[in-house]
Amino acid sequence: MLIDTGAHEEPVPEPHTGEPQETKPPETKGTDPLVQLLTAAGLVSREHVAEAREILEKSGGKLFDILIRQGHLKKEALHSLLSRQPGAAGISLAHFTLGREMVSVLPQEMVVRNFAIPIDRLGKLLTVAMVCPLDMEAISEIQETTGLRVKPMLCSHDDFQAMLQKHYRVAETGDMGGPAAPTGAAKAAGEAAGGPPPSGRPPLHRDPILVEELRQRVRETQRLEVGAKTAAQITALVGTGGDSLRLMADVAAASPPLAATLLATANSAAYGMPGMVDSLPMAMALLGEHGVNLIASNMRQCDSAMERHLALAARHARKVGNVASALAGRCGVCAPGTAQAAGLLYAAGSFALAVNEPEEYRKLDRHLVGAGRNVAEKQVFGLGHAEAGGLLLARWGIPAPLHESVRHYANPDKAGDFGDIARLLAVTIACVNVEGAYEEEPEPEILALMDRLGLTEETVRGAVSASG
């Protein structure tokens, strides 16, 4: 399941009744918002748009593709413009491999014509990578064809073309969006989809041996990396008075690696409570301000580029922790401190993957959070932050309610005795978007989890709004 960060959704059309329907000629109305963006940004002139519309009326296709093929618009400029729009959710398809079932969701002709490739399905929700997620005509057609709700995500033109060659055995699309005949090279590319790409090593997820090796490296990870600013903030709070531990806890709550390290240390035999410390305040009280400072100071520092790359994931985890804490008090599945810790730690696996595979990890879209990031990580590494975090936290001796809920939040029924904590975590992660606001119109699966926990959408929305 991928997160929707505000990309367009339309209601699922009613099932086709079999009655004849009017066949409409190609329309440009669906591209009008895009035209407005392009002209406002100065990327194309109105004269070029008018010229492209004439071609569209005669030959069909997509207006943006005509502009690109006429040399009036650069595909990189189009992608950059769309990626900057509010709520835009982008995804890299560089390491995606689709199964036969996903490839068969849409007819090849529709995929090519709409510049849209289905990449994931969860129940009645179909995630579709699109060169232009503003193309509501394409979204409506896909929804009518499949009977599923479409969640569009932005992909680059080059990624789309590569996926066509890889999975549909179609070469570069022909003039005005019409498919060119498959070439020998394209056919060979499709047949070799399971092999290494032209350059670089093969994606980890294609080699089960490499995936298992990565799992083992995650289990054996001794230290995560913390930002230099975080360590400095902890040091500055030493000796500042009675509120120092509370203020240190606030700093740690903004850093999943530091929170995980503090909890792991507090659960070691040296502090006499192994496997029992399941909240950050309890860990801080056991360690004391000097102990917390010593731990933070001795952590390896993250380079600034990776720190920026993971900043949104860390911020999302902090918000999830705060909201989970508030909701735990409402539904009673666990202590608020335990829920907060689970929320903070849900992203720990992302930091573990980044430590072990930094170069590959930087290629992920930094704006993905929650289940969307988990899916993207699995496509690249063969495991996402949920599994990686569960493995790491269990190895570090962090209590089972935390590591099991983190590992199974995407499938809470697998969490056994800790299923309700995992459900709470799943609800919170899904309902907090990348901006930290409430994710409107949660998926039916999330609404069902709310109901099972005795929560209402109004309660969850209120908790998200009230939590810092």
pLDDT, tens only, 345-366: 999 999 999 999 999 999 898 9
What secondary structure letter does DSSP report for 119? E
299 touches 225 (CB < 8 A): yes
pLDDT band at residue 206, thresholds of 50, 70 and 90?
Answer: low
Task: Please tell me the total number of residues recorded for the chain in this structure.
Answer: 468
Output the pLDDT for position 203. 54
pLDDT tens, 266-291? 999 999 999 999 999 999 999 999 99
What are the tens digits of pLDDT across the range 449-464? 999 999 999 999 999 9
**Backbone torsions φ then ψ of 47, nearest 5 degrees:** -65, -40
Of the candidates 408, 431, 439, 432, the residue with the CA atom closest to the CA atom of residue 421: 408
Gap between the Cα atoms of 54 and 60, Å rounded: 10
Report the DSSP beta bridge partners of residue 122.
Answer: 125
Q: What percentage of the chain exceeds 90 in pLDDT? A: 62
Q: Is the pLDDT of residue 337 over 80?
A: yes
CA-nearest of 153, 156, 152 to 140 is 152
Cβ distance 256 to 315 under 8 Å? no
Q: Retrieve residue 269's tokens.
A: 């035999």
Per-residue pLDDT at 204: 58
Above 50 in pLDDT, residue 1? no
Q: Is the sign of the CA dihedral 146, 151, 155, 159 positive or negative? A: negative
End-to-end CA distance of the chain: 26
Integer Cα distance of 322 and 75 in angstroms: 41
Is the pLDDT confidence value at 448 over 90? yes
Contact yes or no for 211/356 (Cβ under 8 A): no
**Helix ranges, 256-301 (H):** 256-266, 280-298
Beta bridge partners of 432: 438
Residue carrying the six token digits 């580029």:
305
Position 354: which residue type? A
* Furthest CA-CA distance within the chain: 78
Where do the domains of the chain lie, and which CATH numbers do they carry? Answer: 29-191 (3.30.300.160), 305-466 (1.10.3210.10)
**pLDDT single digits (tens) 386-412:** 999 999 999 999 999 999 999 999 999
Rounded to two decimals, what is the model's pTM? 0.61
Among 427, 429, 385, CA closest to 407:
385
